[in-house]
Structure 1
Amino acid sequence: MRSHILKNITWLGAASLAVKPFWIFFLVSLSPRLLGTYEYGVLSAALALATMAGSFSDLGMSQYTLREVARHPEHAGTFFSNFIPLRSTLLFAGILVAVIAAYLMHYTPDGLLAVVFAGFYWSMENLLYYVRVYFRAFEILRVEAISTVLEKAIVIACGTLMLWQTRQATWTLAGMATGMAFVTTVNLVWVARHLAPFRLRAFTFSFLRPTLPAMIPLGIAGFLTVFYTRTDLVMIEVMLGEVPTGQYAQAYRILQALGLIPFVVAYSALFPRLSATYQETNPSAFRRLLYQGLAGLGGTGMLTALALTWLAPFIIHLLVPDPGFAPAIQTLRILAWTFPFTCLSSLFYVAFISMNRHRLPILTLALATLLNIGANVLVIPRYGIDGAALVTVLSEVFITAVYATYYAFFMPWPAYSPRPFDTHL
């Protein structure tokens, strides 16, 4: 089992490492260099607003599908045929919500158009994320690795073309959205042919009615996660303007790129295995797998934070020599210390979800989101982007402490109990 997990991590990790430098160069170096602080702030704020507005679209179906298809691979086609139409409809609604929110916040016409393209880009990326769930459920991360390389290559090419031609955030987002739409379509067709046959006649409310109550807790947790991680960028744009938003985004994007590490280990490799181990009611194997993951991710997170703290001036100046981005150096030094806690909390989160324990992540994320927003209202006007970064660090510490305390002292090992899907098919 361990060799299979390591092989999957190796495939996806190698592919991500191959393309991530090009993605970082495009989004964190080339884009701010050619756009400048103002336009880069427009791009970052539009992406953050579109992501927040559409965060409800998942409804928990990604994690629910991963967990249930890992347990019942023979029903993959039923999930695919029902959730693709549902998700597509919700994503379109998310674009409308983002545009309405931008209009109410008095965005300029160019800003509104940027939000439209950002919404379409994020919707395609979100749909692609769901399609890749099937690669993880069947534990064929080699295919996901190929998909990842294809995605980054095409999106970067289309985005760079428009960035170079226009030097505007709006049309850069349009190029990225076009590339993402193509990649998502290719992946949809592949999964429908090889893993989960799409049959429109299989779409039925008799499937959705019992699954929605089981998914909604996961959906709430996912919504709160997205809202919690994006609200600072939107608040900075509203309270301080586009230039500070661009400076904060420069540091934030570096941490966002590093988020690949806990994603590959916790969500892509360990989540399906933890779900299957829990169903087998094997607590010793479950705990062993969890503790090994925590040790590896925690150590990686600490070393990464130390390196970022020390190398922050070099990293920022290397990526963007423009002195307008100099304030991002101190912001990066602060935000770096979110990473160890993000690594740990990500694995605790998937452990709770794999055990069908949704309430604690929902309550914890809801409280952390409220505390984060409240603290930012007080801190951003006085301490600027560095204050927002410190609030983010403290929020991650809070989430990790709650998860670890609950698991260590209050987490029983219940017998496996079937969810609605197990009993109605």
Structure 2
Amino acid sequence: MSTVQRITKNIAITGFSQLLISISGFLLVIYIARYLGKADFGKFNFALYFSTFFLIIADPGISSFIIREIARNKELTNEYVTNASLIKSITSLITFILIVVSINLMGYPQDTKLIVYLFGTYTLLTSFSLTFRAVYQAFEKMQCTAVLDIAKQLILIISVSFVIYSNRSLLELAYCYVLTGIVDILLNVIFLKKIEHIEPKFNLALWKPMIIKAFPFGLNGFFAVFFFKIDTFMLSVIKGYVEVGIYSAAYTPLLALSTVTSNMITTAIYPVMSKNFIHLKNSLEFMTAYSSKYIMIIGLPISIGCFTLADQFINLFYGDQYSESIIAFKILALFIPLRLISGITGTLLTSIDKQNIRTFSVGICAAINIILNIILIPNLGFIGAAISTVISELCLYIIFLIFIQKYYKKIKINQYFTKPFVASLLMGLFITMTPELNLYLLVMISAIVYIIALLFLGTFDQEDKKLFKQIFKSV
């Protein structure tokens, strides 16, 4: 099977599972938001995001690191999985203690503290399961990850639905997440035995070099958490839970949509890029350029569509209860293509062993995001948080490009964006001219308009045709 066919297969598998998970997860978030109301929904998001700030301690980049190392040498699986699991057991305990101490020092009410404890436990369980998922990704066994992700989502949906149907509290809702995390760990252990027979192979001498080499991955994740979620925390401190709820209603579906789309591509190409950097360095430029092209073909119309149809989407999702979220939804829609392309360029930096540079870049932009939030939130509230997010995403993309040119080579990816952008604008113009159409019909016709515009503008060249042929063969 060729590289293109292998990547296509993995994207198809990942895409199918992520599509199911994203749709069901999005409906679940809407269900929760409508049930809790703005204040409790804000508290829900605060507790969930607060615990993720401590993930650098629970998983100092080990999961991402072993993906790269096992993808390059499968014989390291036993040693890396055993020692990574032991390290994470210790760091997770330390992390939970820090979560408890931190939330108590900040003086939040007792009910908020309990919810943070529960979501902290769920976050740590999810982090631990990433060790096993790293093996599936390194072996390019995306079907295992797909089945586990779907099973995890199904358990969460059933348990949350029961709690809401029984008219229970936010605290009991948080217990559902803990239960889901525990079952996910057990299923991962079962699946791992089918992929690789793990024999405990403890090697304390490996701990220090593993942690040192993995730390840039973890630091990158830590900065990414600040990058994406610090605005929620700052809103809770400066403006309160109601504004967090309004902002989260707009931000959560868009972040989930962009993350799912980005992960579909990067999950499939990361192990291949890492392997090719050792054996086929010249192929990285082609993979980066064309991955960027196709992800922007996907991302740009989503962004324009969400921007032009923001009021209809918010009303459809939440009703009049969250009408204030419309303006934030419009602004945040602009970060989708930036988020997607940064996923590709960031993956390239990691694949060429420049994860330190990637971490540095995300750190700079996280700082920019914090500064912008400090300036804008006091006067603009959730609108200021939305503006900060978009500007920070733009800065990250620019910085990634600068470092790729410096440490790898100049890749002319911007030239691939013009035609999808023009086609997206034409689609947006069509949407604004036909507001009387039913929303579902409008979305379908707009997608057809976009595809026709792409073809009319000559977006696809001979290289694309070769790729399509290989993809069709794999299908």
TM-score of the superposed pair, with normalisation by structure 1 = 0.92
| CA shift for structure 1 position 167 | 4.2
Q: Select 2:377's aligned residue among 375, 380, 383.
A: 380
Contact residue 56 and residue 219 of structure 2 kept, 8 A: no
1:10 alignment counterpart = 12
1:262 alignment counterpart = 262
1:139 alignment counterpart = 140
Deviations 1:330-380 (A, max 9, x none): 111111111111111111111111111123212211211112111111110
Given residue 356 of structure 1, which amino acid in structure 2 is its aligned partner? Answer: D
- Equivalent residue pairs, number: 407
| CA shift for structure 1 position 196 | 5.2
| CA shift for structure 1 position 20 | 2.2
Contact residue 154 and residue 180 of structure 1 kept, 8 A: no
Contact residue 76 and residue 196 of structure 1 kept, 8 A: no
The alignment's C-alpha RMSD in Å is 1.6
Larger radius of gyration: 2
Deviations 1:282-321 (A, max 9, x none): 2321111111111111221111101110121121111111
| CA shift for structure 1 position 158 | 1.4
Contact residue 81 and residue 131 of structure 2 kept, 8 A: no
| CA shift for structure 1 position 411 | 2.8
Structure 1, 183-192 or 72-81: larger mean CA deviation: 183-192
Given residue 223 of structure 1, which amino acid in structure 2 is its aligned partner? Answer: F
The answer on 1:238 being equivalent to 2:240 is no
Deviations 1:51-87 (A, max 9, x none): 1123332211111100000001111111110011211
| CA shift for structure 1 position 193 | 4.8
Given residue 349 of structure 1, which amino acid in structure 2 is its aligned partner? Answer: G
The answer on 1:346 being equivalent to 2:346 is no
Aligned pairs for 1:274-289 (under 5 A) are 274-280=273-279, 282-289=280-287
1:420 alignment counterpart = none
1:306 alignment counterpart = 304
| CA shift for structure 1 position 180 | 2.1
Structure 1, 17-26 or 387-396: larger mean CA deviation: 17-26
SS at match of 1:294: helix
Stretches (4+) displaced over 4 A? none
Given residue 287 of structure 1, which amino acid in structure 2 is its aligned partner? Answer: E
| CA shift for structure 1 position 162 | 2.1
2:104 alignment counterpart = 103
Deviations 1:164-197 (A, max 9, x none): 3244222111112112211221112321453250
1:61 alignment counterpart = 62
The answer on 1:213 being equivalent to 2:215 is no
Given residue 376 of structure 1, which amino acid in structure 2 is its aligned partner? Answer: N
| CA shift for structure 1 position 105 | 2.0
Decide whether aligned partners of structure 1 residues 196 and 83 sit closer, same or farther in structure 2, where only a CA change above 3 A counts. farther
| CA shift for structure 1 position 410 | 5.1
Decide whether aligned partners of structure 1 residues 7 and 371 sit closer, same or farther in structure 2, where only a CA change above 3 A counts. same
Taking the aligned partners of 1:177 and 1:47, their CA distance within structure 2 comes to 12
Deviations 1:243-268 (A, max 9, x none): 110111111111222111101201x1
Q: Select 2:22's aligned residue among 20, 26, 29.
A: 20
Contact residue 148 and residue 187 of structure 2 kept, 8 A: no
Contact residue 155 and residue 177 of structure 1 kept, 8 A: no
Taking the aligned partners of 1:352 and 1:299, their CA distance within structure 2 comes to 22
Taking the aligned partners of 1:240 and 1:59, their CA distance within structure 2 comes to 32
Taking the aligned partners of 2:199 and 2:85, their CA distance within structure 1 comes to 9
Contact residue 163 and residue 169 of structure 1 kept, 8 A: no
1:421 alignment counterpart = none
Decide whether aligned partners of structure 1 residues 167 and 38 sit closer, same or farther in structure 2, where only a CA change above 3 A counts. farther
Unaligned runs of 5+ in 1: 414-425
Aligned pairs for 1:12-411 (under 5 A) are 12-27=14-29, 29-195=30-196, 197-199=198-200, 202-258=201-257, 259-266=259-266, 268-280=267-279, 282-321=280-319, 323-408=320-405, 411=408
SS at match of 1:139: coil
Unaligned runs of 5+ in 2: 411-475
Q: Percent identity?
A: 22
Decide whether aligned partners of structure 1 residues 410 and 55 sit closer, same or farther in structure 2, where only a CA change above 3 A counts. closer
Taking the aligned partners of 2:78 and 2:180, their CA distance within structure 1 comes to 27
Taking the aligned partners of 1:49 and 1:161, their CA distance within structure 2 comes to 25
SS at match of 1:283: coil
Taking the aligned partners of 1:401 and 1:53, their CA distance within structure 2 comes to 28
| CA shift for structure 1 position 112 | 0.4
Taking the aligned partners of 1:205 and 1:160, their CA distance within structure 2 comes to 44
Taking the aligned partners of 2:217 and 2:21, their CA distance within structure 1 comes to 30
Decide whether aligned partners of structure 1 residues 196 and 155 sit closer, same or farther in structure 2, where only a CA change above 3 A counts. farther
Taking the aligned partners of 2:101 and 2:40, their CA distance within structure 1 comes to 21
